[in-house]
């Protein structure tokens, strides 16, 4: 990432008031593990979870927009206090537009982290678009920031820390843990 590209990503992250995440491939490694009765199991990273909580504690709203519908995702989102959860959504752009209407949030004040072609319509509309190194090449080439960590392996935490640093809120977010 060039200095100019990084500066642009920092400026864009500094505006984020609502951060939206895809699930499979971003909050998870993208693997779907089927149990013996057909249930799908997913693994979430605890670092990512605290990152989402730090965003919320810093006044940044959070959301999930996912094409797949899963009770596991609903449970994880509830555990983290995610503000808005849209699942089973294959038209993510429409879900995003509806979220903007409900929250009265302008698109340029939103961030979105996605990894595949289905995410592009939202990534191309938000003020801060991010992906993961294991995301599709077409997605990675069109976002403002690509994490170093892979999806499901701390990528979301890296994004959360990046946003908090860009907004000058990182040290305040850490303060309770340094006392």
Look at residue 131 in the predicted model and tell me its pLDDT: 98
First to last CA, the chain: 35
The pLDDT, as a whole number, for residue 1 is 66
pLDDT digits (tens, 9 = 90+) for 17-41: 999 999 999 999 988 888 888 777 8
Please write the tens of the pLDDT for every residue from 41-72: 889 999 999 999 999 999 999 999 999 999 99
Q: Tell whether the model's pLDDT for residue 126 goes beyond 80.
A: yes
Q: What is the pLDDT of residues 111-123, one digit of tens each?
A: 999 999 999 999 9
In whole angstroms, give the CA distance from residue 88 to residue 142: 24
% of the chain beyond a pLDDT of 70: 99
Question: What's the pLDDT at 175?
Answer: 94
* CA 117 centroid distance within chain: 15
**Under CATH, which number does the domain 3-178 receive?**
3.40.50.1000
What pLDDT digit, counting tens, does each position of 77-105 carry?
999 999 999 999 999 999 999 999 999 99
Average pLDDT over residues 148-158: 97
In whole angstroms, give the CA distance from residue 108 to residue 120.
15
State residue 37's pLDDT score. Answer: 83
Q: How far apart are CA 152 and CA 161, in angstroms?
A: 16
Domain boundaries, the chain: 3-178
The residue-averaged pLDDT of 147-157 equals 97
- The mean predicted confidence, pLDDT, of the chain is 95
């Amino acid at each position: 990432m060039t200095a100019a590209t990084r500066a642009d990503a920092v400026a864009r992250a500094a505006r984020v008031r609502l951060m939206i995440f895809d699930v499979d491939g971003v909050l998870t490694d993208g693997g779907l593990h089927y149990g013996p009765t057909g249930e799908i199991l997913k693994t979430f990273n605890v670092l990512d979870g605290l990152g989402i909580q730090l965003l919320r504690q810093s006044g940044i709203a959070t959301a999930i927009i996912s094409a797949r519908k899963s009770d596991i995702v609903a449970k994880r989102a509830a555990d983290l206090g995610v503000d808005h959860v849209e699942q089973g959504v294959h038209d993510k752009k429409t879900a995003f537009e509806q979220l903007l209407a409900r929250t009265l949030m302008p698109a340029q004040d939103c961030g979105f982290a996605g990894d595949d072609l289905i995410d592009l319509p939202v990534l191309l509309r938000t003020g801060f678009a991010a992906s993961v190194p294991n995301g599709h090449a077409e997605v990675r080439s069109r976002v403002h920031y690509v994490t170093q960590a892979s999806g499901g392996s701390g990528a979301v935490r890296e994004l959360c820390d990046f946003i908090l640093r860009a907004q000058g809120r990182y040290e305040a977010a850490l303060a309770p843990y340094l006392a």
